[in-house]
Every structure is written in C-alpha cells, then in structure tokens.
Amino acid sequence: MLSRKASCNTHGQDSYYFLGWEEYKKNPYDEVKNPNGIIQMGLAENQLSLDLVESWLESNPEATGFTNGGSTFRDIALFQDYHGLPAFKNALAGFMARIRENKVSFDPNKLVLTAGTTSANEILMFCLAERGDAFLVPTPYYPGFDRDLKWRTEVEIVPVHRSSSNGFKITESAMEEAFEHARNQLNRTVKGLLITSPSNPLGTTMTRHELDQIIHFANTRNLHVISDEIYSGTVFDSLSFVSIAELALQHKDSHNKNDLSSRVHMVYSLSKDLGLPGFRAGVIYSQNEAVVSAATKMSSFGLVSSQTQHLLSSMLSDEKFVRKYISENRTRIKNRKQMLFSGLQDLGIKCLNSNAGLFCWVDMKKFLKSNTFNAEMELWRRLIYEVGWNVSPGSSFHCIEPGWFRVCFANMDERTMTVALRRVRAFVDRFF
Amino acid sequence: MLSRKASCNTHGQDSYYFLGWEEYKKNPYDEVKNPNGIIQMGLAENQLSLDLVESWLESNPEATGFTNGGSTFRDIALFQDYHGLPAFKNALAGFMARIRENKVSFDPNKLVLTAGTTSANEILMFCLAERGDAFLVPTPYYPGFDRDLKWRTEVEIVPVHRSSSNGFKITESAMEEAFEHARNQLNRTVKGLLITSPSNPLGTTMTRHELDQIIHFANTRNLHVISDEIYSGTVFDSLSFVSIAELALQHKDSHNKNDLSSRVHMVYSLSKDLGLPGFRAGVIYSQNEAVVSAATKMSSFGLVSSQTQHLLSSMLSDEKFVRKYISENRTRIKNRKQMLFSGLQDLGIKCLNSNAGLFCWVDMKKFLKSNTFNAEMELWRRLIYEVGWNVSPGSSFHCIEPGWFRVCFANMDERTMTVALRRVRAFVDRFF
C-alpha cells in the first residue's frame, strides 16, 4: 500500500550504526553509575566549546527574548519569508568569512537558509539532477549522503575511490574511472561531484592541488561541484585550509552560464562548528542565480525557525564573541585530537594525519584476522563488547580498504577520553 | 544545465499572488503614513491573539531561556533526534485533543514533527504515492498544494470539483467523476484523497455526512485519506467541527493493513491556531506504523528547531493558558468574521456561511462583466487598484466558478478592517 520510498530501508544509516547505537543505549558509560559501560565514540558532535556559548547566553539574556534588535515577538512569530531574516543572513555571511580568515567574503543575497545540511544537499540534488542522474562522491564519505542525495531524489551516487596508498587524496584517474564507469557501465548521466572538505570521516582538508584538479575535471566536462564545508570551523591548522569559495565563488556575477562559478556551490551549517545540531541552521551558497532562486523556493520544505534565526543573529553579530569562539574552539579541538592521536600512537596505532574534524581516522588493519570486511565487522564487535568503544567502521563510509575506523573525540569530556585510552591500551596488551 | 524541477515555474503560487504581493509592497496601507495604500487582505495570518502569547511570554521569561523543565542549553542545542522532544510531543498531543473538545485523544508516539505542514504534506506524498500517481483534492483548494504535493514528488493532483450550487459540499458523484477521469482519461493510479477541514479558502468544516461519504468512497477503493486540519483551532462554532480523528484515528492499533485507520492520516501545525508560522512547528498523525516510521526518517529534511520545541513545550503544557487561549482566540475570530460578514451583507455582498478560518469566501459575481475568469481578473485588478484591497481570486484556488474571492480578516487590526469596509462601500456606490 505504501510507496517504494517508504518501504525502502536505505536511509543512509547501516546496520553498524543502528547496532552500535542500540548497544550503547543499553549500556552507556557513566563514570560513577556505569563505569564499565560503552563509551560513545561514534557521534561527530562538538561539545568542546558549548560552555563559551552558554556564557554568552548568560551575559546576553535578551538574545533569547524578543526585544533585542528592535524586533518584537510578533515580528518574529509571523516571519516566514523564505529569504530569511536579513540580520541573520548578514551575520552568518560574516561568520563564514571569518572562519576562512576573511580571505573570502559572502554575499548574503546568495545564501539560501535550510533546516541543516541534510536538507541543503537534498535541495541541490533536486536543483541540479534528474532522477537517475549520478553525482560522483569521493570515498570514504558520510553515510547520511545515501539518504540525503539519493533517497527522495532518486539520484545515484557513484563513488570515486580514495585509498591509504596516497593518504586518501583524490586523483584525476580515480575521477575519470568513476565518470567512465557511470557513463559506460551504469548508463548514467553524471551531473556533478560532491566533495566534503574538511572530510568526514578523514579529518583532512582538500589541498589546493586536489581542488585545482577537481575544478579542472569538472570544467572540462561541464559538471557541477558541490563543496560541503560543514566542518570548516573545526580546521585547527587554518593556514592549510583552502575553501572552494577562494577558488571559484568570488566572482561578482556570473551571467555566463558556462562560467565555472555558476557550477560551484557550497553547503554549510552551524551544527558542527557551534555545536548546535538541534537548531537546524544550514545554508547553501551559490553564484548561480537560478539555483539560488529554485533552492530558496524549495527551502519552504525546511525553513529555519525564525526564533532560532533571531537568537543566532544576535550571537553571530557579536564580533568579539565570534573571534574568541573560533580561536578557542580550534585550540580545544586541536588539543583533544592530539590527546587521542598520541595516545593511540603510543600503542603503535596510527591515525591518518589530520588538520580538522571531530574525529580521527584510525588504521586498525593490524588487528584484523584477514584483509576482509568480515574481519572488520568482527573487530568492530570486539571493540564494542570487549573494549567498550562504540566507533564506526570504514565500511559504513564506503571505504574500500578494510581496517579503518572513525573515532570521535569531541562529544565527551577529557576524563572519559582518558578512560577510553586506558581501555584500548588493555586491549592491545591482551591482543599481542 | 539545471534540472527540470529547478526550471519549473509551478511553485503553487500563481501570477495573482505575486502581482498582488508586489503591488502591496510598493504601496502598503498605513493609517498615518500612507492612508490611501493597499490593504493586505490576501494573507491568512492570525494576528488576533498574539497579545495573549506575548503576555504569557512576559509572565514566563524562563520559557525562552534554557533552564526550565530541567533542560540545559547543552541538552537542547545537541538534541537532533528526529523523534522530537518527548515533552513537546506530549504537550502538542494534549493541545490537539483540547482543540477537539477532548472528544479524541492523540498518542504522542504516532506524531511525526515536521517543519510546518508544507513539509508534512510533501512527506505524506513521498510515503504514499509513486511519481505519476494521483491524489484527489476537492476544489477550491490552497494554491500551495500545487507546490507541496506535486513539485518534487511528481505526484499529480486531480481536482474534485465543488460548486456554490450546494454550498461547496463534496459529493460522491464528484469524487467518482474525478476518480474515473484520473483512471480512464489521465491513466493515473489514484492513491488517495486530501481534504482540508476547516477549508482554506471556504472557511467551512466538512460535515459528518461529507466525511462519512469520503471514508466510504476511500474504503471501497482502498484509498488513503489525508485530512489537513491546520485551521482546526479557528473553528468558532466548535460543536459543528468533526475531526477525521473522531471517525477514523481512534483505534488503538492497526496491524491489519486493510483496516481503514491505517489509511487515514492527519496533518496539523501551530502556524494558524497560535499565529506562529515563523516557528515551523508542524506534525503528521497516523495510526499506520510504516507511515510513522518512514515519515519520521523523512522528517530529517525538515526538523523542528529544538530551541522552538523547547519553548512550545512550556507554553502548551500550561493548561490554564491553553484553555484561555483557545476560547478567547475563537471568540475574537468569530467577532472579526462577523464584522466583515455583516459589513459586506449590508452592501448586498454575500459570503459563504462559515464556521472557521481566517477569511470569508465572498461572492462577487454580480460585479463581473461576464461569467468568465477574464472578468474575474479584471475585477481583481479593480479591487487592488481602485479599492485598495489585495485579495485572492477564486481562480487561484482552482475554483471552477468565476467571481469568488477569499478575503482575509485576521492579519490586521479592527481599525484597518473599518477602513477596508468603508472603501468597499464607496466602490459599491460607484458601481451601481
């Protein structure tokens, strides 16, 4: 009786995710009440700097009320213009520029507000592709893309494989291979390429060389490029971050439809950088007027609450707070990452060198019984039941090499991380 | 380069809407600054009782902060479970029951939160129909349905025509005719019927007899029924309101897939009844577990901000406030409607008898030069430019009879309504 979509089980969250989550919920770690419980290390949440937001709210109680900025409750309650509150869009554009060291600026009129990047990415698929068309996505990638890009749009993802042999960098040959595979074997029209930089799960940003290759590849084939930069504020080595905005979103106008800047689009949200996933404040940025116009209309299906826009416009307009937050948040992420990174290194476990993100991409190949995904699954079970680590295996990110795991570090306090490291040490001691 | 969807102009808002809105923005009425400006009477917004919400907020300042109900800012900021805040769902279920005089109750576990009914209706289409399938929708209907039901889902709307001959009641023969037309002429699979009760633009609720007919019709053909009850709190003659929930959503469980209750779904939001369209707080209610499950997953594309859920859960848990609000809001809507209704009646202009809504459905046939939609368009232009009334013509609601107009009355104060009535009187005097 229901539609195929409703009956479909591919919602971008695989059995690992559900199983891990279920096991964690049954037996969650608590220092006092359940010291042998499972530690949740599978959640890419940023809790490291929420105290900064909390103290800002304490010092600015009027921001949550309805009298600041000249707006009354009435103005805010009734505001449902899908163009968004101008004050919020201005403040958000400024915040996005500051995260990029003001090397770029964003025109508030080219922002489309969306209820998180979940909605932003789906809207871009609806705008850029027909049902049955394909988008190339480098692996390993965020499992939610299988839901966001494919589920309701019926667009296909064709993976561009990346491997440890070159530090998971994208190559022209891998892009070409995926493109030819999509066209010749799958008989799909490729409409574009979606990259995530900084990457979830890798914790790395794309180099300028990689971005140049991608842009060249897209340009010669008339493809769109979407850059999901949801983790851009987590880059703790900021000099190394090159935003797609620096390379292709700085033209003032692009009436020329073949102009590259009309085929490059950015996606962002405050969920990771400010640690506010519940607030559903996402955005699309594009120089393409037709995309901005259609996406704005589609944003009707997931507008950002005007109450939330109102609060965030106050917070992000406070330049002193923003400067301090961005810098302190980076330092805290860097320190926490270093704690996990060197803790594992001391045990002979290597992580991919990273400069961003809320997780390490950990090489556990030496713990595998064989070089297979079955062995990865077996190790994952041991990690959850013996070590008490709920982490995410590489296969859930469509990684083609068994033995990699994403380990999140920003959703817990330092004491919990200490316990987590102690546990894995005991596991390694038992193992060898 | 873009998709057909992005290039498509059918976003459910026709030229009247845009033209009227543009003209209004160029020359908006203001008692002091622009007394000859256009009065916005095309906006179904409820501003009549916002002062009650405002005073509740003044008396409950902690509700907009993050310390009430034991939740901290941290809990709220991080909350992104698509099942929603339990406190909010409980309070919302209670509010929905109270609007229906507690003749029915709602199980919070069968609620799916969505960013407004725009999203709720689209999600139900994705769940119940395949691309190319049809839903029957009685005319005149809310123009936004052309966007919400059709645009991204590629579902078709097949109109069930209603006319003034029987007071715009739905008939079995009209439903049958639409069904046969969809099947035989359009070659479509009909998946269901979507009704709006109270109706926008009619301002009437469906009678028990109409609902019985609809349910019988759907039952014999295995169709789904969606009842959009977004205006349910505006029913000022509450005894006359029969919610679909009373007839078909009261079974405890429905494991039987052929059971009627698994094919009946309700849509609601707080946008109209509480006057909070900016907050994007909508909901789907269904007894069908598979629909609830799939719709909950799809709600990822338009979640309700956790900050907003948090505030509304406090407000709707205050039973004293809720009781007073519902009753006072009804009285104010009734009085305002009566002011417009009898003001027009005194001029010999008739409205459809109504018991709900934020608008009157006004018969202006006698001002038409001919019984055509061109003449309706001409009258509409005179209303906007000569009378200074921005209203919505029946054709924008797919009405099949020329000469009906929806005139909104709840988005302005009483003085403005007085001016509006004075203006139409002058127009009538000039006309005859």
Q: Is A275 on the interface with B (CB under 8 A)?
A: yes
Q: Is B126 on the interface with A (CB under 8 A)?
A: yes
Residue B258: pLDDT over 70: no
What pLDDT does B249 receive? 75
- Mean pLDDT throughout A173-185? 98
What pLDDT does B12 receive? 54
Catalytic residue among A272, A285, A326, A363: A272
Residue from B307, B412, B413 to probe the interface with A (highest A Cβ count within 10 Å): B307
Contact in structure between B279 and A76 (CB atoms under 8 Å): no
- Mean pLDDT throughout A14-25? 80
- Mean pLDDT throughout B238-246? 87
With pLDDT > 90 as the criterion, what percentage of chain A qualifies? Answer: 87
What pLDDT does B254 receive? 47
Q: What is the pLDDT of residues A385-406, one digit of tens each?
A: 999 999 999 999 999 999 999 9
- Mean pLDDT throughout A241-258? 72
* B259 or A352, higher pLDDT: A352
Residue B372: pLDDT over 70: yes
What pLDDT does A249 receive? 75
Q: Is A122 on the interface with B (CB under 8 A)?
A: yes
| Beta-carbon count within 10 A of B426 CB | 11
Q: Is B57 on the interface with A (CB under 8 A)?
A: yes
Residue from B221, B300, B311, B408 to probe the interface with A (highest A Cβ count within 10 Å): B300
What pLDDT does A101 receive? 92
What pLDDT does B261 receive? 87
Cis peptide before A140 (omega within 30 of 0): yes
- How does DSSP assign A365-432, residue by residue? GGG-SSSSHHHHHHHHHHIIIII-EE-EEGGGGT-SSTTEEEEE-SSS-HHHHHHHHHHHHHHHHHH-
A389 pairs with which residues across the strands? A39
What pLDDT does A70 receive? 64
Quick check: A50 and B73 CB within 8 A? yes
Burial group, residue B289, by CB count within 10 angstroms (0-12, 13-18, 19+):
middle
Active site residue A337: no
**Four-CA torsion B214, B219, B223, B226, nearest 10 degrees:** 50
Q: Is A428 on the interface with B (CB under 8 A)?
A: no
Contact in structure between A311 and B314 (CB atoms under 8 Å): no
Q: pLDDT category, B70, cuts 50, 70, 90?
A: low
What pLDDT does A1 receive? 78
Residue B13: pLDDT over 60: no
What is the number of CB-based contacts under 8 A between chain A and chain B?
209
Q: pLDDT category, A250, cuts 50, 70, 90?
A: low
Active site residue B146: no
Q: What is the 8-class DSSP label of residue A29? A: -
Calculate how close chain B gets to A167, using CA atoms only, in Å: 32
Q: What is the pLDDT of residues B378-404, one digit of tens each?
A: 999 999 999 999 999 999 999 999 999
Residue A242: pLDDT over 90: yes
Quick check: B147 and A300 CB within 8 A? yes
Identify the helix (H) or strand (E) that includes residue B395: none
Catalytic residue among A170, A230, A244, A349: A230
What pLDDT does B96 receive? 97
Q: What is the pLDDT of residues B319-328, one digit of tens each?
A: 999 999 999 9
Residue A55: pLDDT over 60: yes
Residue from A78, A259, A413 to probe the interface with B (highest B Cβ count within 10 Å): A78
Q: Is B5 on the interface with A (CB under 8 A)?
A: yes
What pLDDT does A191 receive? 98
With pLDDT > 70 as the criterion, what percentage of chain A qualifies? Answer: 95
Q: What is the pLDDT of residues B285-320, one digit of tens each?
A: 999 999 999 999 999 999 999 999 999 999 999 999
- Mean pLDDT throughout B16-38? 91
- Looking at this predicted complex, what is its ipTM? 0.95
- Mean pLDDT throughout A251-271? 78
Catalytic residue among B89, B150, B272, B337: B272
- Please compute, for residue A167, the number of CA atoms within 13 A of its CA located in the half-sphere on the CB side: 9
Partner residue facing A302 (CB), from B224, B294, B302: B302
Q: pLDDT category, B69, cuts 50, 70, 90?
A: low
Q: What is the pLDDT of residues B161-175, one digit of tens each?
A: 999 999 999 999 999
What pLDDT does A254 receive? 47
Q: Is A77 on the interface with B (CB under 8 A)?
A: yes
With pLDDT > 90 as the criterion, what percentage of chain B qualifies? Answer: 87
Nearest residue to B330 via CA among B243, B408, B413, B236: B236
What pLDDT does B209 receive? 95
* A69 or A214, higher pLDDT: A214
